[in-house]
Amino acid sequence: MLHRQPTIEEMRAAMEATELPPKEGFARMVSWGLINARGQLTKLYGGDAEPEPGAQRPVAKTSANSNGEH
pLDDT for 33-42, tens place per residue? 999 999 999 9
Domain ranges, ordered by start, for the chain: 22-51
Residues 67 and 41: their CA atoms lie apart, in Å, by: 33
Phi, psi dihedral angles at 5 (to 5 degrees)? -80, 140
Q: pTM for the full model?
A: 0.60
Residues 22 and 16: their CA atoms lie apart, in Å, by: 10
Residues 51 and 69: their CA atoms lie apart, in Å, by: 30
Predicted pLDDT at 61: 61
Percent of the chain with pLDDT over 70: 80
